Copies of this chain bind each other. A is one copy, B any other.
Amino acid sequence: MSNDWTARIRAMFTVYGMSDSGNCYKVKLALEQLAVPYRWIEVDSTRGQTRKFLAMNANGKVPVLALEDGSFLPESNAILYYLAEGSRLLPAGRPERARVLQWMFFEQYSHEPYLAVARSILRYQPADSPRRAELPRLRERGKQALSVMEEHLRRSPFFVAGRYGIADIALYAYTHCAADGGFSLKDFPAVNAWVERVSNEPRHVPMPP
């Protein structure tokens, strides 16, 4: 596994992403922390769903990672798992890796659709947008997700095996900027302390402004 890893970090990855997206930031943060060289190509998936981009990902979303074989890998958490295998960011044990996936599926199903969407409405929609009507439900569900994280982080410094890894990266992306969506992390002290811990990890880079 580590041979494979050593060979792979010599490759140059290309990421197609939108800097302001938390899902894209996950990939940037992992690449920086793994010290893997990469090229970043800025794509505004909300506008330019060009034919060229849809050929990379028929689902029309960023980020997309260009693999060594010329194919394209979408889905931020699949990319994280792919990049992190064999590194300190993903435990080797089978039950631990199942836990990593558990938290990454939690993130995409029970967390991101509320925290990221509330953020997106407040940042990109006009003040009189009818989409603001969605905010109360998004806040309620988002707080529920933060409560589940709080419960876990009261007992453990990081999400899996007590060590920083890609489950933390996946959940950090839209948690550290939860205030953008109108959430206060003061109500979730263990989450707040974890955000601070994650931002102090070696080679951490902030989300682009």
Q: A residues within 8 Å of B by Cβ?
A: 4, 58-59, 61, 67, 69, 71, 73-79, 81-82, 85, 94-95, 97-99, 101-102, 104-106, 108-110, 112-113, 147-148, 151-152
Q: Which residues of the other chain, B, contact A73 by a CB distance below 8 angstroms?
A: 95, 98-99, 102
A78 touches B59 (CB 8 A): no
Can you sample 12 A-B contacts with CB below 8 Å? A58-B147, A58-B151, A59-B110, A75-B102, A76-B105, A78-B98, A78-B99, A78-B102, A82-B98, A82-B101, A105-B108, A109-B109
Contacts A73-B98, A78-B101, A108-B108 given; 4 further ones with Cβ under 8 A?
A73-B95, A74-B102, A78-B98, A105-B105
Interface of A is mostly: helix
Known: A82-B94, A95-B69. A105 touches B151 (CB 8 A): no
Known: A95-B67, A106-B75, A148-B59. A101 touches B113 (CB 8 A): no
What's the nearest-Cβ distance from chain B to residue A9, in Å? 13
Q: Which residues of the other chain, B, contact A101 by a CB distance below 8 angstroms?
A: 75, 77-78, 81-82, 101
Q: Which residues of the other chain, B, contact A59 by a CB distance below 8 angstroms?
A: 106, 110, 148
Known: A67-B95, A94-B4. A105 touches B85 (CB 8 A): no
- The 6 A-B pairs with the shortest beta carbon distances in the complex, nearest first, are A78-B101, A82-B98, A75-B105, A78-B102, A75-B102, A58-B148
Q: Which residues of the other chain, B, contact A58 by a CB distance below 8 angstroms?
A: 147-148, 151-152
User: Once bound together, how far apart are the Cα atoms of A78 and B71, in whole Å?
Assistant: 25
User: Once bound together, how far apart are the Cα atoms of A75 and B74, in whole Å?
Assistant: 21
A78 touches B94 (CB 8 A): no
Known: A58-B148, A113-B113. A105 touches B82 (CB 8 A): no
Q: Which residues of the other chain, B, contact A69 by a CB distance below 8 angstroms?
A: 95
Q: Which residues of the other chain, B, contact A112 by a CB distance below 8 angstroms?
A: 109
Q: Which residues of the other chain, B, contact A151 by a CB distance below 8 angstroms?
A: 58
Q: Which residues of the other chain, B, contact A98 by a CB distance below 8 angstroms?
A: 73, 78-79, 81-82
